[in-house]
Amino acid sequence: MHYGMRRFRKPTEGERARLLAFFLCGFCSAGLGYLAVLHLDRAAMFNGLSLYQTWIVVASGIGGLAALFFSGDRLGQSGAVGARRGVAGAIWVTFIGALIGGTLSLPFYGTMFGPLIVCVTLMGAPILAMLWVVNLLGIHMLLGIHQRERDSIFTPERMRIPGHSNETAPRSGGRFI
């Protein structure tokens, strides 16, 4: 056995889905930041981005990733309650991501103007808003795969220890007499 070489395990389907969800959120948040930069300075498309404008795009991506991480389990739940939590999570990711990205790009004013610029950008381009909603729906579905995988680990059948002294199935057949 080679102790210096570690064998890496293949990520599970849920882990790959979560990784893809984070990639989509970061990439699309950075894209939304780029469109916000273009909304503020239309000449940036043809003249190229300045260093500061590039930082705004990167900060937008970081803000989206951080907001998705801080959203916890708001996204990815199933059922009617999961749908309501998914809507709340989508709003959370959109505005907290804009808040974090705005704060990173311009520490005091960006905290206030980040969410405002995202609102103006999305309201000014309904197709972009629709694409953002579809992106968040995809993230919700991908995190649902991860959540179902996590939930399957802790099912009662897997938590039971056969032959254990507290096992009720062999003694009473699951009935409490």
Assess if residue 169 is contained within a domain.
Answer: no
Query: Would you state the structure tokens that stand for residue 169, as one six-digit string?
Result: 């199935």
Neighbours of 44 (CB within 10 A): 16
Query: Would you state the structure tokens that stand for residue 147, as one six-digit string?
Result: 């959540």
Q: How confident is the model at residue 157, as a pLDDT?
A: 61
Assess if residue 166 is contained within a domain.
Answer: no
Does pTM surpass 0.85?
no
Assess if residue 72 is contained within a domain.
Answer: yes
| Residue 61 and residue 33 in contact, taking contact as beta carbons nearer than 8 Å | yes
Assess if residue 148 is contained within a domain.
Answer: yes
Q: How confident is the model at residue 99, as a pLDDT?
A: 94
pLDDT in tens, 94-151: 999 999 999 998 888 888 888 998 888 889 889 999 999 999 999 999 999 999 888 8
Assess if residue 38 is contained within a domain.
Answer: yes
Cβ neighbors of 121 (< 8 A, separation 6 or more) are: 32, 35, 36, 39, 128
Instruction: Give me the domain span that covers residue 126.
Output: 13-152
**Side chain identity at 97, as an amino acid letter?**
G
Assess if residue 158 is contained within a domain.
Answer: no
Q: Please give the tally of structural domains in the chain.
A: 1
Assess if residue 168 is contained within a domain.
Answer: no
Q: How confident is the model at residue 176, as a pLDDT?
A: 47
Assess if residue 73 is contained within a domain.
Answer: yes
